[in-house]
Amino acid sequence: MAVNKEIDIVAIGRRIREERTKLDLTREELAEIVGLSDYYVGQLERGERQMSLPVLVKIASCLHISLDYLIFGKTHKTYSVLNENHGDYTPAIIEELNELLNKCSPPELELIKKLIKVILPYVNTK
């Protein structure tokens, strides 16, 4: 049984803009990372243009969001590195990261947060 849902390109554009700003990316930076023009990304964010599936996938990957969230605004699963099983090594990595972060001052934690925001769009999750 097929489910026919309307695709709201204005809402998709709004979610792209919201997630882009959460990562402190400019429109130009997002466009450069995904290989699009900043004008085209602006059109997408305003809901003026539809995008192809490959572009949709590139943007979702860059912003580290699911396609389900990008298209429909909701996810079926909340992702958390603390709850996700990535193999035997994950608990050790989480523990080590926790230990390192606990040694940081509030300004250092803010800097680390900014660094993660800068690096995250360039991380290939595949």
Residue 25: is its pLDDT beyond 70? yes
In a domain, 121, yes or no: no
In a domain, 106, yes or no: no
Domain that holds residue 28: 9-72
In a domain, 3, yes or no: no
pTM to 2 decimal places: 0.70
| pLDDT score of 97 | 87
In a domain, 93, yes or no: no
Report helix angle 53-63 to 27-34, nearest 10: 120
In a domain, 16, yes or no: yes
Mean pLDDT of the chain: 86
40-74: per-residue pLDDT in tens?
999 999 999 999 999 999 999 999 999 999 999 98
Q: Is 42 helix (H, G, I), strand (E, B) or coil?
A: helix
Q: Residue 89: CB partners within 8 Å, gap ≥ 6? A: none
- φ, ψ at 96 (rounded to 5°): -65, -45
CA torsion 49-54-57-63 (nearest 10°) is -60
**CATH code assigned at 29:** 1.10.260.40
In a domain, 79, yes or no: no
The number of domains in the chain is 1
In a domain, 116, yes or no: no
In a domain, 97, yes or no: no
